[in-house]
A and B are shown apart, each in its own frame.
Chain A
Amino acid sequence: MSEEIHARRLLQGNEAIVQGALAARCRFFAGYPITPASEIAEQLSVRLPAVNGTFIQMEDEIASIGAVIGASLAGGKAMTATSGPGFSLMQENLGFACAAEVPCVIVNVMRGGPSTGLPTSPAQGDVQMARWGTHGDHSIIVLAVSSVLDSFIMTVRAFNLAEKYRVPVIILSDEVVAHTRESVELPLKSEVKVVDRIAPGMPPDWYKPYQEDARGVPPMAAFGDGYRHHVTGLVHDQDGFPTQNPQEVEKFHQRLSMKITKGLPDIQLTRKFHMDDAELFVVAYGSVARSAMRAVEEARMAGIRAGLVQLITLFPFPRRTLTPYLQQCHSVLVPELNLGQISREVQRVNQGQCTVVKQNRVDGRLITPQEIYNRLVKLSSGRLS
């Protein structure tokens, strides 16, 4: 047996997502070529068959996510990767995965939009689409990655959350994270915690595929396991069959929402820097969080009591993490590569305690540490103690 050793490697974000997917035991990928996500497909087409997995390039993104859901129903861990235009096409079947509770992971390496937009420039314009893109009320988990190492760790995490809560998990990366090469030390196989969906333990005759239990997440049988059951995107009862009975329809919606709400402490991931004594803070995610970190360090050196809350989970929005800081600080700065998609979430949970300041760039360029620093200086002027 070869011994595992920690090794430094030069990887780009997309490569780290591939490594993370394999570490999480993803065995199926279906996708359609698109910049800046294509490396994920290319590399998985090489790696998956070697581990008895399957790669397929489909005719479009609609088909890609359809195949991913099919593979997951047959018991495999499955994913796809795309960018804005492809993500738009996936919204239909994404809703199916929410309704039928099919675990899967969708990577969206964001680029400028709308429409074909700016294919090779970074942006964070798909944040609200990731949350609300498919029609109807639905629960979904959205994670944002900010570095190469993050791309690995959060891809594993995405699969674990998808399997645990039977929900599609969206990973938002951006062109900068995806294509920047960084020297990283990936965790060893033995250090990676992998979660698998819970299979039914009862005899097939007793199996109710959508039965309500304390956890709110029913065990999931794979097609072919002997637990013959029905899966539909129609609102369904505990047996999985379509229903229009108002009580059953209500129950269906409540459970899909509750299963995520119950898991919030587990699902909502954030990182905090210098927050204990902060008087003002930054809320950032993705590549912008890297600029923000640098800006906060420099602000500290200049005597400004600034902090940073980096959001990894964008949705369900980590309200409970932010609330105490919104009470503690006089201002919060929300830099984003869009016209204000997370700042509106911050405003929503703020309830007027704190001044919410937007900082936006939509010209296809990054927000630099200097820009954020300058804003922090301005916000703190006259308030320095």
Chain B
Amino acid sequence: MNAELIREQFPILHQEINGHPLVYLDSAATSQKPRAVLDALKHYYEWENSNVHRGVHTLGSRATDAYEGAREKVARFISAARTQEIIFTRGTTTSLNMVASAYGPAVLQEGDEIVITPMEHHSNLIPWQQLAIRTGATLKYIPLQPDGNIALEDAEKTITDRTKIVSIAHVSNVLGVVNPVKELAEIAHRHGAIMVIDGAQSTPHMKVNVQELDCDFYAFSGHKMCAPTGIGVLYGKKHLLESMEPIEFGGEMIDDVGLYESTWKELPWKFEGGTPIIAGAIGLGAAIDFLQEIGMDAIHQHETKLAKYATARLSEIEGLTLYGPREREVGLLTFNLQDIHPHDVATVLDASGVAIRAGHHCCQPLMRWLEASATARASLYLYNTEQDIDRLAEALVQTKEYFG
């Protein structure tokens, strides 16, 4: 994989920020979009724009074909057994909320347990917190090892026969750890619980096979994997989705409406009320084509190599604390620089054209665990190069000098 050639396909990367060529290191927040995706959106609006599943005219058929074609691409991308198991949503947050609202209350009773970890993004924490409050269930946390990893022995102790739902991030957006979700799913199933995976930080960076993981639900967002914002996916096993009632009513999800009773369409449309995010889904389809042409394994290898290089470069900087495990295969580097507040670090870096994230990364409980009020984070993607890491390291050294 040649990152230089890939960079060429991202128009946004070829600009100057504050007089310096842009180094974009905030892809965990949102990725940049390649020309292929931008062109697909333009083509849709110029040649196909129409509502789906309604029009009997030509544009209606083109839009429907493109939208449903994107669903098939998603199903193949994550190796789902059936296209019906792919629900288009607004993103990971909506997908996880949908599981919590449509599945949770039907199965949980007072005293039952929901198991998560302290490293969860707020999107995979608050919906369960709310569900626990509403149903009287207990929210339990698998503790973290000192380096941020999960030990399976701890999972074995936390997950019990009272556990009904286990929901865990595939990859932490702060620590960069890849969690043993397959093994966790096995433990959950042994106790009769379902396994939900937050795939926001994994799907863009590595091959995901939902059947091999044997998870019950898998949630991810398009915008972190080269697609537009506002489109995401909820994968769910067919029998579970069929057992669930929709949570949004009206528009596309309707089958037959009477004055006092109505029926819903079959899967997956049952969960897609209103006019769906048609252009977003088509953009996601184009992003999947783009990523698969390069190859998910090649992307993952490139990022693993880059993450190693970045870990080494940042470790050379005196006074820099790098959080999470030393060995990392994904390009997420969270750190603090001496006692300089991460916002100040981010502002000084921005002055040299280097874009990173500063703050709590929507992981307040994890920040408390790290004993940091906030952290800085550099996150990599397929278009980053060693040169970007060098620019980051140089800018960090300058920041130290500036705040001396």
A and B, one complex? no
